[in-house]
Amino acid sequence: MAYKFYAMDFAFYNSMGIYSFEARCEMLKEIGYDATHLSVWHGERWRDVEKLKNVKEKYGLDVAGVYVVLDLSLGEDHPRNTGILKMLEIMEGCSTVELAIQSVGHHIRPSDPKGDDIAVKWLEKALKIAERRNINILLYTHLSFWVERHEDAVRLCKRLNHPNLGIVFCGYHWYAVDGTNLLGTLRAVSPYLKQVNISGSRRDPHGFGGVATIEPLDSGELDNFALLGQLKKMGYNGMIGYQGWSEGGDAYSKLSRSLKAFRDMERRLEAHPHWADLRLTP
């Protein structure tokens, strides 16, 4: 089975600016991606999602998701946070919101369960809209954010136990935050896993967050072939995306390389699934 493969629009960011929405869709279609993606960031940009309703008809692409960042340290009624709720009310052409929770309070550190009650209160409000409008809210783990580890996302999903709440497995952020116990992490996430994104990466103090680089899929030290093998073994059949955060340079070239690398990993896994069975180094 070939996975539907999308590119997060992060791949179109560089130090000089960002490619237009139209150019992004045209490039992805020409290269051969199955779906596009939109980062709205803070909820104040919620109107950007109005562009999504015509993507399928105009470009022949699916829309994998919309990425937003929740920061409750600003207050629940801050426009950045209320804007996300407004976005949920008007979204068309996409049924997936990837939610990164940056903070739930000024003195609550990443992964601290003391913030759970605050996050749950907001999520319950968002999930009422999501259920009514048939939208999935997927928790997006992120280095240095309050939901930093996949274990944090699992904890919230277990507590809320809502069919419209799930998890994105973020290959880069798993690697950058910890990078160990891949199989155990995937098993814990699996009941809630609805989307995956991956990146090439290597440990480097000059990388993102002073921890690790974000690179095309044909480079870096992170073994995405082994990661993909574990996903296939556990029966994951959802979309997979290329993250590509702010790599810079010629976006078309890097997107082409990453799609080619991904399809080649699929080909090898189909022919030789046992190749992805890694053992711990002595």
What percentage of residues in the chain have a pLDDT greater than 90? 93
What's the rounded mean pLDDT across residues 201-221? Answer: 95
pLDDT recorded at residue 281: 59
Domains and CATH numbers, the chain: 5-276 (3.20.20.150)
Is the pLDDT at 221 greater than 70, yes or no? yes
**Residue 88: what are its φ and ψ, rounded to 5°?**
-60, -30
Q: Is 200 helix (H, G, I), strand (E, B) or coil?
A: strand
The full 3-state SS of 130-186, as one line of letters, equals HHHHCCEEEEECCCCCCCCCHHHHHHHHHHHCCCCEEEEEEHHHHHHHCCCCHHHHH
Is the pLDDT at 112 greater than 90, yes or no? yes
Please list, in sequence order, all residues whose beta carbon lies within 8 angstroms of the beta carbon of residue 25, skipping any fewer than 6 positions away.
36, 55, 58, 59, 61
pLDDT recorded at residue 279: 79
**Residue 273: what are its φ and ψ, rounded to 5°?**
-60, -30
Q: How far apart are CA 51 and CA 38, in angstroms?
A: 10
Question: How does pLDDT run across 92-110, given as a tens digit for each residue?
Answer: 999 999 999 999 999 999 9
Question: How does pLDDT run across 24-75, given as a tens digit for each residue?
Answer: 999 999 999 999 999 999 888 888 899 999 999 999 999 999 999 999 999 9
User: Which ranges of 32-167 would DSSP assign to H, the alpha helix?
Assistant: 55-59, 79-90, 116-133, 150-160
Name the DSSP class of 214.
Answer: -
pLDDT recorded at residue 248: 86
Q: Poorest-confidence range of 16-20, 126-130, 264-268?
A: 16-20
Q: Which two tokens stand for residue 122?
A: 């907001």
What's the rounded mean pLDDT across residues 142-171? Answer: 98
pTM for the full predicted model = 0.96
pLDDT recorded at residue 42: 85
What's the rounded mean pLDDT across residues 4-24? Answer: 95
CB 43 within 8 A of CB 85: yes
pLDDT recorded at residue 39: 96
Query: Which helix (DSSP H) or strand (DSSP E) does residue 66 occupy?
Result: strand 62-71
Name the DSSP class of 76.
Answer: T
| Confidence at 246, pLDDT banded by 50, 70, 90 | confident
pLDDT recorded at residue 101: 98
pLDDT recorded at residue 280: 62
SS3 of the chain: helix, strand, coil, percent, to 5: 45, 20, 30
| Confidence at 153, pLDDT banded by 50, 70, 90 | very high
HSE toward the beta carbon, residue 80, CA cutoff 13 A: 15
Question: How does pLDDT run across 179-191, given as a tens digit for each residue?
Answer: 999 999 999 999 9
Q: Poorest-confidence range of 123-137, 222-236, 267-281?
A: 267-281
Q: How far apart are CA 187 and CA 173, in angstroms?
A: 17
What's the rounded mean pLDDT across residues 162-172? Answer: 98
pLDDT recorded at residue 247: 87
Q: Which two tokens stand for residue 192?
A: 């809630």
